[in-house]
């Protein structure tokens, strides 16, 4: 008798927005191994709302060390003008660094992307 066991890498990406967040958040947060927080340069509130999401993740994960991978994505960089863009990105990075510090996150990355121009989108998947 020939028995084979095949191991597969499994990746589940949940892309539900805030309207569906409550329905599944406990399960996906508790068992999630990596988290991606996306904000839009067109709306500073999106980066500010990441604080609440990260707070929830750290509460549910309830770890001594917050060493799970957390990737922050600053999206829609195509909307930025060359000169003002650097200032906007710097403000977003400051807010993200503040979140990282507040929740003592140990395994983080920050990426700047433009889904419209397909810039750095594949890097998101390479990071996770």
Mean pLDDT confidence for 24-44: 87
Which of the 8 DSSP states describes residue 42? Answer: T
The model's pTM is 0.79
Would 12 be classed as within a structural domain?
Answer: no
Measured torsion, CA atoms of residues 82, 83, 88, 93, in degrees rounded to the nearest 10 = 80
Would 3 be classed as within a structural domain?
Answer: no
28 pLDDT band, cuts 50/70/90, is: confident
- Indicate the number of domains in the chain: 1
**Residue range 46-100, pLDDT digits in tens:** 999 999 999 999 999 888 888 999 999 999 998 887 657 888 999 999 999 999 9
Would 41 be classed as within a structural domain?
Answer: yes
Would 68 be classed as within a structural domain?
Answer: yes
Would 75 be classed as within a structural domain?
Answer: yes
State the Cα–Cα distance between residues 8 and 91, nearest whole angstrom. Answer: 40
> Domain holding 123: CATH number?
3.40.50.300
Name, in order, each residue with C-beta under 8 angstroms of 117's C-beta and a sequence gap of 6 or more: 78
The pLDDT of residue 5: 47
Would 13 be classed as within a structural domain?
Answer: no
**125: helix, strand or coil:** helix
Q: For residue 109, is pLDDT > 70?
A: yes
Would 74 be classed as within a structural domain?
Answer: yes
Would 107 be classed as within a structural domain?
Answer: yes
Q: For residue 112, is pLDDT > 70?
A: yes
Mean pLDDT confidence for 6-22: 57
Question: Domain range holding 91?
Answer: 34-127
């Amino acid at each position: 008798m020939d028995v084979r066991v095949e191991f597969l890498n499994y990746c589940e990406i949940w892309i539900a927005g805030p309207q569906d967040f409550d329905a599944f958040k406990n399960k996906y947060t508790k068992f999630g191994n990596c988290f991606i927080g996306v904000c839009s340069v067109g709306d500073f509130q999106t980066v500010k709302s990441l604080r609440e999401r990260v707070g929830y993740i750290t509460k549910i994960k309830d770890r001594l060390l917050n060493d799970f991978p957390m990737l922050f994505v600053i999206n829609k960089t195509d909307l930025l003008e060359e000169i003002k863009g650097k200032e906007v990105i710097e403000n977003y990075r400051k807010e993200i660094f503040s979140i990282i510090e507040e929740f003592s996150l140990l395994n983080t990355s920050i990426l700047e992307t433009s889904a419209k121009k397909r810039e750095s989108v594949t890097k998101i998947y390479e990071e996770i």
